[in-house]
Structures are given as structure tokens and as C-alpha cells.
Amino acid sequence: MNCIIASTSTLHGSDYLAYLTEPLQDHFKNASEILFIPFARPGGITHEEYTEKAKKGLAFLNKKVVGIHEKENFKKAILEAEAIFTGGGNTFVLVSQLYTHQLIEPLQESIKNGTPYLGTSAGSNICGVNMRTTNDMPIVYPPNFNTLEVLPFNINPHYLDPDPTSTHKGETRETRIKEFHEYNATPVVGLREGSWLVVTNEDIVLKGKLKARIFQCDKTPYEIEPETSLKNLQ
């Protein structure tokens, strides 16, 4: 396995994927073409528009970027891809599309075989055991919440610390994850914007400058430093 699983695609005040320039140079170095999966359609933009955005964001690599919707056979495209990037947007829409086109198993197989994979936000959510810790609105009904299980845990991307000055009564992210653990035993990694995980066959390591927050069933949540291994978190 060879995955970069990022909390977000974009940091405030910087360009799309800009903060990942350095790791992506290395990550995609052996690929001549990157297969882009635009199914999550952020803000409802079309597959074409989203693929344009990915092309621009990855232009610094000087690689060909092709949207999966341009391919005749989606399954074959995934199995034969030299590299895969699944962009963020709405996780319910993304997972519904993956089930509709029967792409869960091909993606698992391709990733297991070592195809370099990049996920951001929703594209990272699907690397967990299930999508039950997404922040997204359930605007469509997927046939299943189970996802790729590239990680032995779930992630919560765009992790936000509780705001002590807030007067809003909606649940904090921490409360939501606590509720998740009333019904699920899977650990959750709260991945702050600017953090990512590097997944290989040997290890899962937290990257970026920020700590991540770990939520385990019946345990007090705790922080881990960058470069910490998460391979034993399950």
C-alpha cells in the first residue's frame, strides 16, 4: 500500500493541494497518468469541472490527469491505474457512486496492490472502515455505509476543536464522535486541516505540523504528535 490520506485539499489562504506539493512529487513520481475520481462533486460541480480543478491543482507534477468518467470501463480504469486521486466533496454522493458502479472492490484491490493513492476529505473518509464519521450532509442514500477499510480505523477529516466561545447549540465534533462510540467500536482519528496519514504495508504515520486527536471507545480522547505511528490503532 502507498496512500496519502489528507484531511483537506486546501489550506486557508493557499491554493488547491498547494500544501501537499512536496509529498505528492514523490508519491506520484512513477506514474505518467493519474486517474481522478470526481464523484464527490463539491458544491455540486460537474465531473468535468471538478476534473479541471484537479488538473490545475496537480499541474506542477507535469502528469496527465484523467477523470474516471472519461473512461469506458470504470472498473478496468481503477485496476489498471498508475495512480489514483479521489477528491473531496460529499461522502454520501461519493460512496453511492462507488456502489452504483461496483467500484469498492476494485479500489481495494488496486490500493492493496500498491497503486499510489491520494485522498482528500471525502476521498480520505472512504479509506476508513465505514463512512459513519463523515461531516457531510446525507443528501443521497447510499446502499451501505461500509467503505474501503484501507485503514483499521475511521478518520474524521476537517477535525475542529470545540469553540469555547460558541453560543451555538449544535453538537461539537467531539460530542458527535462520542455518540458514534455508543454504537461502534472503531477508533476515530480526528485529522486537522493540514494533517495527513502516510499508509504503507508496514506502517501508518501522521504527517504535517499538527497533532491529531484520537478517539477510542470508552477512553478519554488524546493527542498524538506528527510522525507517530498509528498501525496499532484498531
Active site residues: 121, 136, 158
Q: Which of 25, 100, 144, 234 binds a copy of itself (CB under 8 A)?
A: 144
Nearer to a copy of itself among residue 12 and residue 232 (C-beta): 12
135 binds a copy of itself (CB under 8 A): yes
Which residue blocks in 60-211 are alpha helix, DSSP H? 74-80, 91-100, 104-112, 122-125, 173-183
Candidate residues 27, 63, 69, 181; the one interacting with a copy of itself per rule CB under 8 A: 181
* Sheet with 117-120: strands ordered across: 64-67, 33-37, 84-86, 117-120, 2-6, 196-200, 204-207
- Nearest approach, Cβ of 127 to a copy of itself (angstroms)? 16
**Summary count for the chain: helices (H), strands (E):** 7, 11
State in Å, rounded, how far the first CA of the chain is from the last one: 18
Distance of CA 34 to the CA centre of its chain: 16
**Beta-sheet pairing, 204-207 with 196-200:** antiparallel
Work out which of 4, 6, 8, 215 binds a copy of itself, going by CB under 8 A: 8
Q: Does 100 bind a copy of itself (CB under 8 A)?
A: no
Q: Which is nearer to a copy of itself, 10 or 110 (CB)?
A: 10
Task: Using the minimum distance from each CB to a copy of itself, give the nearer residue, 2 or 172.
Answer: 172
Contacts with a copy of itself, residue ranges (CB under 8 A) = 8-13, 41-44, 89-90, 92-93, 131-141, 144-145, 158, 160, 167-171, 175-184, 193
